[in-house]
Amino acid sequence: MIITCPNCNKQFKIDNSLIPNEGRDLQCGSCNYTWFYNIEEKNNEVPELKQEIISEDIEIKAENKKDNKEAKQQPGKIIKTEINNKKKEKNSEKQKIITNLKKTENKEIKFFSYLIVFIISFVALIILLDTLKTPLINVFPGLEIILFNLFETLQDIKLFIIDLI
């Protein structure tokens, strides 16, 4: 069966066995609106003849024409609907702006997360080099000068930060 969300009019195809006779709560996957759905609420009768469907369509078209005539006679209603449409457009624009702001905030948070991971990884590498300094120098004799300069530079940076504080 096809069920329509009363909030956003999104349609969902749901197996009949999932809805008991006494009904149940449903939640829209699109707008998260929750409502109670009862199978008896919907008219499950299927028209037997194609003639009935055609006659119903003709009746609906006739009603629409009447509505159009009434709308022409009542321009105030048209203006109200135009105002409502403009309000809806403004709300949708505001929602777009809000989603763009959230995206930029997420990018900033992502950047700082990467920065923190980089700093922690760098500190871990320095600690590892300090721990394995002697075995590395035994295997690579030219590495002694590089490691000495690295540790002296780190000591200078440490002293500089302490002086700033």
Sketch the domain layout of the chain as residue ranges: 1-44, 132-165
3-state helix, strand, coil in the chain (%, to 5): 70, 10, 20
Please choose, from the candidates 132, 127, 159, the residue with its C-alpha nearest in 3D space to the C-alpha of residue 143: 132
Per-residue pLDDT of the chain (165 residues; tens, 9 = 90+): 788 888 888 888 888 888 888 888 888 888 888 888 887 655 455 555 555 555 665 666 666 665 555 555 555 555 667 777 777 777 777 777 777 777 777 777 888 889 999 999 999 998 998 899 899 999 998 999 999 999 999 999 999 999 998
